[in-house]
Chains A and B, each alone.
Chain A
Amino acid sequence: MTLIEQLIAATDASRVLTQHEDLVVYGFDGTAALKEMPAVVVLPRNTQEVAACVKIARAASVPVVTRGSGTGLSGGSVPLPGCVVLTLVKMDKIIELDEANLTLRAQCGVITKEIDDAAGRVGLFYPPDPGSMKISTIGGNVAENSGGLRGLKYGVTRDYVMGMEVVLPTGEIVWLGNKCVKDVAGYSMKDLFIGSEGTLGIITEVLLKLVPKPKARRTMLALYDTMEAAAETISAIIAAKIIPCTLEFLDRMTVKCVEDFARIGLPVDVEAVVLMETDGHPAAVEEEASQMMDLARKHGAREVKMAQSEAEGATLASARRSAFSALARMKPTTILEDVTVPRSELTHMVKFINDCAARRGLMIGTFGHMGDGNLHPTFLTDERNHEEMHRVEEALEEIVDETLRLGGTVTGEHGVGLAKKRFLRKQMGDGSYELMRSVKMALDPDALLNPGKIFDLKSAS
């Protein structure tokens, strides 16, 4: 039997796609300017089908690229030429919601927002909320260890993963972790797979931790005439030992684009906007909200507004989530960065990025999870303009160098994939870089799963 025939036998013909028109559309993810054609796309329905497909691909020595909703921003699910793509969006069942243990078990293809909605229906809450939560899959979130708007107080995806089912490169199915709050039996193997970007195994089920839904929430918007003042407010809030759930930053260009899209009355004549949110016990929330508003005013906010209702707060947060795509209104190509620095270096970094763009005559919009030190400088350009693209590359190089000099990281939440590969050794140093490669070789010696993502495999073999 041919590879295709075997895949059909393992699933069914309607879920094995080979027509040109069906393949072109899986050639990319959310990352700019990366495109490749797979040989075949399979949409498995359950773990057994995933395992069978892995075994078939392995026997045929054809690499496998795992895909969720393809919203990744580092090229993680961009195919390798001629590979098998396993798209897991049809594995979309929530299996169990355990209110006694505050856990939720789901197949990997469930949409992030549906998990939070399901938790919300019983008074619980799943905090990690990446900007893409309306469409990203939970498997993709775990594979990228995604962050979100509430990371400052609640942490990232990793902090909510208690267990998972994984299909290994051999096709074996293993279960890692359990419902215990405490567990030190052996290596924490699940942690190895969180953020592994589909290079070590295919996560087919996840067991997530839920928390009680906060009783109250306040959302505020502070407007600034300078970016520095905005950054200083953030530092001041953190120095005042307040940990709000959200401290998001948007510069002038980003605010303008978001307003163009969402039309919710954001001011478009300011240099920076900071979106602040606190949640928890009603009394504590009121106190923190008023403290934050005072600090914002003290550090030069031109105006500080509080959302009048929960719905208005949600509208503001959801507008912020559209920031990245909204920036794409300006120019044909949007190249997004994900540099993260220690929070004490924020003001400096924001200024550095702006100077760098100005010096090189580039258009840039910056937004990000300021409270986490995670910035998303976004270059607005046109991939057909080679001269300008070259200047963008140079600017990126410069921003990465400065980030690393400050003790930062090239990616805070989007992963390395293809896009950040070339910076990785520089950041990690030879020792830890090689250690990571040897882990890959130990689990996947034949380089079956997503080879060439995160790092090249050559020198380790």
Chain B
Amino acid sequence: MNLLRDMDYSVLQQCMHCGMCLPTCPTYVETKREKNSPRGRIALMRSIADGTSAVSEAFADEMYYCLGCLACQTACPAGVHYAELFETARAEVERANVLPGVERGFWRWLALDVIFMRPWMLRAIGIVLRLYQQSGLEALLRRVRFFGLLPKKFESLEKQTPRMSAAVSDELIDVLETPAEPRYRVGMLTGCVQDIAFSDVNRATVDVLLANGCEVVTPRSQNCCGSLHAHNGAVENARELALRQMSAFDLDSLDAIITNAGGCGSHLKSYSHLLPDHPMAKKWDAKVKDIHEWLAAIGLRAPMASCGVDRVTYHESCHLCHGQKVTRQPRELLKAIPGLEVVELPESNWCCGSAGIYNITQPEQSQKLLERKAGHIRTTGCKHVATSNPGCHLQIQRGMNEEVQVTQPVLLLAAAYQRESRQT
């Protein structure tokens, strides 16, 4: 068995090696080595399918050096489905088990098979982390440079641990929330990291939905959507999570399923790829909508008050702009807020280096991308940068903690609606 050999060969053949994607690929631009480019990576996959290359450690390393940012997919005129190729390649790397290391195996198992398969465990971790961060223990340990005593990897990991929210989504959002005059009925996805680190963004999402005439159904104790698993070669777990996710919603009674995290949305919209025989998967894919996309589709009601911020720039999450092709709507949403100047960010759709867990697996390249991003944000002179993916949010905040405040379009919009209701 070989997943690349078994897949539909025409997906591989679709690449006609024109090279038009190369200048958009962050890893190629960094190294200028063909192997680190989309065209090169696809050629390697094809060579494996052809039986002229083996699934080697070098191949595996390359697949994990790729950010999975999908900038190449946007650039490709030939319509190459890089996301599918990339996921299949990583799954094959894991199946063939070519990457050595007991430690790697342990962390993968812990994250992909244990924690992110169990919503209660993730929440429990969230609570422990919250207590730890609030109790002053964290500050104390940092002050005495405790983490400097641990191996380098732990030290950098510790710094990357996100701030936990004061409450998880279920505490902030009711199962059913209904506006005065409901026009639509939608399901709300609360996510996994989003749920414990950004429950305020979930609350804000529900607020803006209500303000736009949407009744919101939010099932309790939701699962991870499985994107983490699919992007890291754990396809079976991803299937299991997709099934659980779909069964949490009564699809026929809802006009849309709303997601507010770029990375999740892109994956949530492709369940039919993961479960081609599932009777509901196609319908599910069609109903999943990114929050900005949905608001634009139903006609966003512009708020009548400002949001308290007067200048903002917008960083695009890769999986929102390249994965879901949602680029115009978040900008329009921001521009609809009175008194808010939206400054265009140079290279706004260039990956910030967060890329799922890339900042942990490839810290060096991730850091380079973060610095590139920070440089561009500085040129805008904005003190606020909006983005709509928890990974990007954390990454940029970590890189520019002193200089800018990271926010999200829905947070700003919700703030504007709130001020509006106080005025009237």
Given known contacts A25-B35, A329-B79, is B16 in contact with A32 (CB within 8 Å)?
yes
Q: Of A20, A22, A43, A135, which is in contact with the most chain B CB atoms at under 10 Å from its CB?
A: A135
Question: Which stretch, B51-59, B159-167, B286-294, B332-340, touches the partner chain A?
Answer: B51-59
Could you tell me if B77 and A22 are in contact, using CB atoms closer than 8 angstroms? no
Could you tell me if A328 and B16 are in contact, using CB atoms closer than 8 angstroms? yes
Assess whether A69 is interfacial by the CB under 8 Å rule. yes
Could you tell me if B43 and A28 are in contact, using CB atoms closer than 8 angstroms? yes
Assess whether A451 is interfacial by the CB under 8 Å rule. no
B321 to chain A, nearest CB (A): 14
Within 8 A of B (CB), among A313-327: 322-326
Could you tell me if A43 and B17 are in contact, using CB atoms closer than 8 angstroms? no
**What residues of B have a CB within 8 angstroms of the CB of A257 in the complex?**
77
Could you tell me if B77 and A322 are in contact, using CB atoms closer than 8 angstroms? yes
Could you tell me if A21 and B34 are in contact, using CB atoms closer than 8 angstroms? no
**What residues of B have a CB within 8 angstroms of the CB of A333 in the complex?**
13, 16
| A361 and B381 alpha carbons, distance in the complex (Å) | 60
Given known contacts A24-B44, A28-B43, A261-B79, is B59 in contact with A90 (CB within 8 Å)?
no
| A27 and B34 alpha carbons, distance in the complex (Å) | 10
Assess whether B407 is interfacial by the CB under 8 Å rule. no
| A21 and B17 alpha carbons, distance in the complex (Å) | 16
Question: Which stretch, B19-27, B105-113, B251-259, B411-419, touches the partner chain A?
Answer: B19-27
| A328 and B53 alpha carbons, distance in the complex (Å) | 25
| A20 and B43 alpha carbons, distance in the complex (Å) | 12
* Complex interface bits, B213-247 against A, C-beta within 8 A gives 1, otherwise 0: 00000000000000000000000000000000000
Smallest Cβ-Cβ distance to A258: which chain B residue = B77
Assess whether B421 is interfacial by the CB under 8 Å rule. no
Could you tell me if A22 and B19 are in contact, using CB atoms closer than 8 angstroms? no
Q: Of A258, A324, A332, which is in contact with the most chain B CB atoms at under 10 Å from its CB?
A: A332
Select which of B39, B78, B79 is within 8 A of A25 by beta carbon: B39
Could you tell me if A329 and B78 are in contact, using CB atoms closer than 8 angstroms? yes
Smallest Cβ-Cβ distance to A30: which chain B residue = B18
Given known contacts A22-B33, A30-B17, A30-B19, is B10 in contact with A332 (CB within 8 Å)?
yes
Q: Of B19, B37, B52, B79, which is in contact with the most chain A CB atoms at under 10 Å from its CB?
A: B19
Assess whether A141 is interfacial by the CB under 8 Å rule. no
Could you tell me if A20 and B53 are in contact, using CB atoms closer than 8 angstroms? yes
**What residues of A have a CB within 8 angstroms of the CB of B14 in the complex?**
328-329, 332
Could you tell me if A24 and B47 are in contact, using CB atoms closer than 8 angstroms? yes
Assess whether A70 is interfacial by the CB under 8 Å rule. yes
**What residues of A have a CB within 8 angstroms of the CB of B16 in the complex?**
30, 32, 325, 328, 333-334
Assess whether B300 is interfacial by the CB under 8 Å rule. no
Select which of B32, B37, B58, B76 is within 8 A of A43 by beta carbon: B32
Could you tell me if B34 and A132 are in contact, using CB atoms closer than 8 angstroms? no
A69 to chain B, nearest CB (A): 6
**What residues of A have a CB within 8 angstroms of the CB of B58 in the complex?**
19-22
**What residues of A have a CB within 8 angstroms of the CB of B32 in the complex?**
43, 89-90, 92
A266 to chain B, nearest CB (A): 14
| A329 and B33 alpha carbons, distance in the complex (Å) | 26
Could you tell me if A21 and B35 are in contact, using CB atoms closer than 8 angstroms? yes
Given known contacts A29-B17, A132-B20, is B59 in contact with A21 (CB within 8 Å)?
yes
Given known contacts A26-B34, A89-B32, A329-B79, is B19 in contact with A21 (CB within 8 Å)?
no
Assess whether A204 is interfacial by the CB under 8 Å rule. no
Question: How many residues on B have C-beta within 8 angstroms of the other chain's C-beta atoms?
Answer: 30
**What residues of B have a CB within 8 angstroms of the CB of A28 in the complex?**
17, 43
Assess whether B399 is interfacial by the CB under 8 Å rule. no
| A324 and B16 alpha carbons, distance in the complex (Å) | 10
Could you tell me if A69 and B13 are in contact, using CB atoms closer than 8 angstroms? no
Select which of A27, A43, A134, A324 is within 8 A of B43 by beta carbon: A27
| A69 and B78 alpha carbons, distance in the complex (Å) | 18
Assess whether B94 is interfacial by the CB under 8 Å rule. no
Assess whether B62 is interfacial by the CB under 8 Å rule. yes
**What residues of B have a CB within 8 angstroms of the CB of A32 in the complex?**
16
Within 8 A of A (CB), among B281-330: none
Smallest Cβ-Cβ distance to A26: which chain B residue = B34
A383 to chain B, nearest CB (A): 8
**What residues of A have a CB within 8 angstroms of the CB of B10 in the complex?**
332
Assess whether A36 is interfacial by the CB under 8 Å rule. no
Assess whether B40 is interfacial by the CB under 8 Å rule. yes
* Complex interface bits, A385-417 against B, C-beta within 8 A gives 1, otherwise 0: 000000000000000000000000000000000
Smallest Cβ-Cβ distance to A261: which chain B residue = B77
**What residues of A have a CB within 8 angstroms of the CB of B39 in the complex?**
25
Could you tell me if A328 and B43 are in contact, using CB atoms closer than 8 angstroms? no
| A328 and B35 alpha carbons, distance in the complex (Å) | 22
Smallest Cβ-Cβ distance to A326: which chain B residue = B77
| A30 and B78 alpha carbons, distance in the complex (Å) | 13
Could you tell me if A21 and B62 are in contact, using CB atoms closer than 8 angstroms? yes
A249 to chain B, nearest CB (A): 18
Smallest Cβ-Cβ distance to B42: which chain A residue = A25
**What residues of A have a CB within 8 angstroms of the CB of B43 in the complex?**
24-25, 27-28
Given known contacts A29-B17, A30-B16, A333-B13, is B35 in contact with A135 (CB within 8 Å)?
no
**What residues of B have a CB within 8 angstroms of the CB of A322 in the complex?**
20, 77
Could you tell me if B77 and A70 are in contact, using CB atoms closer than 8 angstroms? no
Assess whether A17 is interfacial by the CB under 8 Å rule. yes
Smallest Cβ-Cβ distance to B16: which chain A residue = A328
**What residues of B have a CB within 8 angstroms of the CB of A17 in the complex?**
33, 35
Smallest Cβ-Cβ distance to B57: which chain A residue = A21
Given known contacts A20-B58, A29-B17, A328-B16, is B79 in contact with A70 (CB within 8 Å)?
no
Select which of A26, A43, A71, A329 is within 8 A of B19 by beta carbon: A71
Smallest Cβ-Cβ distance to B61: which chain A residue = A21
B32 to chain A, nearest CB (A): 5
**What residues of A have a CB within 8 angstroms of the CB of B76 in the complex?**
325
**What residues of A have a CB within 8 angstroms of the CB of B52 in the complex?**
24
- Can you identify 29 A-B contacts, CB atoms within 8 angstroms? A17-B33, A17-B35, A19-B58, A20-B56, A20-B58, A21-B35, A21-B56, A21-B62, A22-B35, A22-B58, A30-B16, A30-B18, A43-B33, A89-B32, A132-B18, A135-B22, A257-B77, A258-B77, A260-B79, A261-B77, A261-B79, A262-B77, A322-B77, A324-B18, A325-B78, A328-B77, A328-B79, A332-B14, A333-B13
> Known contacts A69-B19, A260-B79, A326-B79; can you find 8 more A-B pairs with CB under 8 A?
A17-B33, A19-B58, A24-B44, A25-B39, A70-B34, A135-B22, A261-B77, A332-B14
In the complex, the 10 A-B pairs of residues with the closest C-beta atoms, listed nearest first: A325-B77, A25-B40, A328-B78, A322-B77, A332-B13, A326-B77, A25-B34, A328-B16, A21-B58, A329-B79
- Write the residues of chain A forming the contact surface with B, with a CB cutoff of 8 angstroms: 17, 19-22, 24-30, 32, 43, 69-71, 87, 89-90, 92, 111, 132, 134-135, 257-258, 260-262, 322-326, 328-329, 332-334, 382
- Write the residues of chain B forming the contact surface with A, with a CB cutoff of 8 angstroms: 10, 13-14, 16-20, 22-23, 32-35, 37, 39-40, 43-44, 47, 52-53, 56, 58-59, 62, 76-79
